[in-house]
Amino acid sequence: MSKPLILVSNDDGITSRGIRVLVDIMKELGEVLVVAPDSPQSGMGHAITIGNTLRLYEEDIFKDVIAFKSSGTPADCVKLAKHYVLKDRKPDLVVSGINHGSNTSISVLYSGTMSAAIEGAIEGFPSIGFSLCDYSSNADFSHTEEYVYKIAQQVLENGIPKGVALNVNFPPKRNEAMKGIKICRQARAKWQEDFEERYDPNGRKYFWLAGNFVNFDKGEDNDEWAIANNYASIVPCQYDLTAHHAISQINNDWDWEKMKD
């Protein structure tokens, strides 16, 4: 039997340590193709390149793995892989990461890592975004490797529902071994931003985004709780953002007669 085809992307760029770790793990599971940004794209969310050029160059960076770097966003990379690089072939799995930094809770909306995974799900491919809650460029991924392999293996063997991408976050390496995996919901938390007003050497004003992450969620079934308690978290995510529970409320509570005036 032929090996499964695994598409690898990320948002930290094709030279990041995290993608190297992910490629090495995926090589144990199947045939690997890499299409990743040529530079860091953190916080890009699901942006795509419109009205500007997209560059794509083959890169000899991973041993025995065909790889391309793109000037585009993570979502662009998955689109380019599907429509140009792979053409008539379809990946059996799309994986993104391993990200240097957390993508728990509300961060999933801003995440370039998860945008590649969500783009894979939009195209109908089983997809996973992997993140390590350690922002260091030299982060230690060793405690995640066995789990990354097993999670990807489970998806290849058992699948996930159509239109769903898994958001997987790992705690940073600690003195004690990681306790295991929790299937979670997204925590109710947000960034409380502050824009610092600064001046460049020419005296021109600019702003620098700062702020703190605030967790309002006291539950023990969410991704923030899992990471804080030394578990890996898996949150199944979907691109359908419809608030289904609000449809009936709006239909019932709004004064539709006034809408006719």
Q: What is the pLDDT of residues 205-216, one digit of tens each?
A: 999 988 888 888
Residue 261 in this model has a pLDDT that exceeds 70: no
* Cβ atoms of residues 43 and 110 within 8 Å: yes
Question: What CATH class does 5-188+218-259 carry?
Answer: alpha beta
Name the average pLDDT for the chain. Answer: 94
Contacts of 8 by beta carbon, 8 Å cutoff, 6+ apart: 19, 22, 23, 26, 32, 33, 34, 35, 36, 95, 96
Distance CA 90, CA 129 (A): 18
Residue ranges per domain, the chain? 5-188+218-259
pLDDT band at 1 (very low <50, low <70, confident <90, very high): low
Looking at the DSSP bridge assignments, the partners of residue 197 are: 207
Helix (H, G, I), strand (E, B) or coil at 175: coil
The tens digit of pLDDT for each residue in 54-111 reads 999 999 999 899 999 999 999 999 999 999 999 889 999 999 999 999 999 999 999 9
pTM: 0.93
Q: What does each C-alpha distance from 10 to 107, 121, 230 come to in angstroms? A: 15, 15, 24
The whole-number pLDDT of residue 121 equals 97
